[in-house]
Every structure is written in structure tokens, then in C-alpha cells.
Amino acid sequence: MILVTGGTGFLGGHVLEALYAAKQPVRVLAMGGGDWRSDSLSRLKQMHIDAVVGSILDARLVSQAVEGCTVIINAAGGLSRRSDADWRHVHVEGLKVLVEEAQKKGVQRFVQVSCLGAAEQSDCEYFRLKWQGEQIVRNGQFYWTIFRPSYMFGERCQLVSLLAPLMKLPLATPVIGSGLNEIQPVWVEEVASCILQSIYKKEAANQVCDLVGPKTYTMLQFMELLRSESGSGKPVVAVPVTAVLKMLKPVGRLVPGLPLDAEFLKLLVCDSCSRSQLMHQLFKVRGVPIDEFLPRILADA
């Protein structure tokens, strides 16, 4: 049995699809209201996938989810949060519970989804917490694999969702910081495929693998790409982070629902790219660029 945490999320949903297609026995640990009313949980039921619904911080519930599993794929968490504590709850405290229960139940393989940029001394809290989570997994008594994907895309893209409101500003489209930081968006199905390939691949055990797409963009180039694809005639202008921080409140009034805060700004000025070839050495990958997905992504952003 394979346990997938975060199975109702963006990546987790694609992982489940791949496992289902491969006829692998799957269980999901998912946040929810404890019933089948939500679309995502109803879909799991239709696929005959067992679901344990509740918090990853609940040791009793996690123990129930881990029972009988030999593999855990932890795809829980993401950039979104409701409070400052959300990231720590999911990426550190909840992960401790999951690893402890995995060791008690004799889980053999643990696949952890981290992110490019994870580092102990990062200025960004998200990256620091992701690094802490990696250390928890590294110290587990099982064979582990840690994946560090760049920004993922498919039918949607969280990075584009963050940037799209900025394109609605009058006069110009701002790029946070210098715009020279580099990103390599990676197809979510490619990430899911690498996760599945890693489960029974001994060469992937105890490896930290960066997952990136075939094209590298500076953030300035990426914003220009979004501007061009959307048909906007407004110029793209680099704006210092300090200036953006001062403008968050007035800009928020101009663009209601703008999902940016100080921590997200730190994410947007960091590199999310890799020169490592381990992804290509270990796994079969197609190398799909984000360009062909942009019309649909922007339509839904």
C-alpha cells in the first residue's frame, strides 16, 4: 500500500492519477471536513481510493493512515497559507508526526517533495522550513528520496496566479527586484512521473534530486512572456523590493485579493533553477516547456 499525503492538492492529484493508472494500491491522507461532500474527496471515492481525512498533526489519525503501508509519498503543503503558522504546521511539525509513525509501522520508502531553494540560512521562511523538513526525512529509518521541484505548471500554475494580479495594475507591469533571478518551471506530470519512477529505483534511494523544466527564464523574461501572451501593451518595469513593500497596502486596494506579502516577495526574488543532471541520469523525462500551457493557465488565472 502506498500512502499519499496532500493527495487532493495540485501535485498530489497528478501523483494519484499516475498511481491509479499503474494499478498501485493507494491510500490518501487529506485535509477535509470528514465527509465526501467536497469534489476532490468525492472523486477519490469514485476511484475506489481509501481516504483518511484530517490533520497531519493528529498522530492517531496519521497512525491509521500509515497502517499497512510500505511507501509514503509526502506531497502535502504548498505556497498558500491562512496564517503564519500554516507553513510550520505542515512542513515541519506535521512531517515529524508522519516520519515518527512511518518508523513505528516499518515503512520502507519515503518520498519527500521539497522545493528548489530550500536552505538552512535562507532569508525566506518557506525555504528554511522546507530545509528543516528535509533533515527530518534524512534522519528517518527508511530509504528516502527528496525531490526539489522548481515552480510546477500544468492546467494551472501557482507562480502565474501570484503574478497575474500585477498585470492588472495601470500604466506598467512590475517585476519584483532586479528581475534577474532565474526560474525553470517544470511540468507537474513530469514531477509525478519522477516520483513514481523513484519508488522502486534503488539508485534513487537517499538522493536529493532537483526537478526542473527545459527552459530557463529570468523573472524579467518570464513576466515579458506573460505580458506578450496576454496581449498587454504595458511595459514591464523592475521595482525594488523595498519600494514594493511600501506599496503593498495601496496596491492591495487597487487589486483586491492580491496574494502577495513580505514572505511571498522573498520567494519571487530567489532563483529556482538547477544545473544538476541527476534528474536526467535517474529518470525518463520528456522536457516539456511552459510556453504551450500558458494560454490555458492565463485564462484561468
For residues 151 and 222, the answer to whether their CB atoms sit within 8 Å is no
**128 domain residue, yes or no:** yes
| Residue 258: predicted pLDDT | 60
Quick check: is 94 in a domain? yes
- Lowest-confidence range among 26-35, 68-77, 79-88, 252-261? 252-261
Residue 238 in contact with residue 175, Cβ under 8 Å?
Answer: yes
User: Are β-strands 173-176 and 109-113 bridged in parallel, bridged antiparallel, or unpaired?
Assistant: unpaired
| Structural domain contains residue 141 | yes
**pLDDT score for 277:** 95
CB of 261 closer than 8 Å to CB of 195: no
Residue indicated by cell numbers 511595459: 235
Q: How far apart are CA 104 and CA 64, in angstroms?
A: 12
Q: What is the Cα–Cα distance from 262 to 248, expressed in whole angstroms?
A: 9
Q: Which residues contact 84 (CB under 8 A, 6 or more apart)?
A: none
Residue 190: inside a domain, yes or no? no
Write the CATH number for 133: 3.40.50.720
Which pLDDT score is estimated for 46?
A: 73
Residue 292 lies in a domain: no
Collapsing DSSP to helix, strand or coil, 22 comes out as coil
Q: What is the mean pLDDT of residues 40-56?
A: 78
Strands (E), the chain: 2-5, 26-30, 50-53, 71-74, 109-113, 143-149, 152-153, 173-176, 182-183, 186-187, 207-211, 217-218, 236-239
- Has residue 250 been placed in a domain? no
Domain count, the chain: 1
Q: Is the pLDDT of residue 237 over 60?
A: yes
Residue 194 resides in a domain: no
Give the structural domain span for 92.
2-149
- Identify the weakest region by mean pLDDT among 112-126, 158-172, 182-196: 158-172
* 51-65 residues labelled b (16+ CB within 10 A) or e (exposed): bbbbebeeeebbbeb
Average pLDDT over residues 115-139: 93
CB 188 within 8 A of CB 13: no
Mean pLDDT over each residue of the chain, to the nearest integer: 87
> What proportion of the chain, given as a percentage, has pLDDT over 90?
55
Regarding pTM above 0.85, the answer is: yes
Whose CA is closest to 19, among 90, 85, 71, 64? 71
* 127-136 pLDDT tens trace: 999 999 999 9
The answer for residues whose C-beta is within 8 angstroms of residue 82's C-beta and 6 or more apart is: none
Domain-located, residue 224: no
Of 24-38, 79-93, 190-204, where does the model show the most confidence?
190-204
pLDDT in tens, 181-203: 999 999 999 999 999 999 999 99
Q: Is the pLDDT of residue 207 over 90?
A: yes
Average of per-residue pLDDT across 25-31:
88
pLDDT of residue 16: 92
Alpha-carbon separation of residue 242 from 46, 72, 205 (angstroms): 49, 41, 42
* Mean pLDDT on 62-86: 84
**32, pLDDT greater than 60:** no
Q: Residue 298 carries which side chain, given as an amino acid letter?
A: L
Q: Which comes out higher in pLDDT, residue 62 or 39?
A: 62
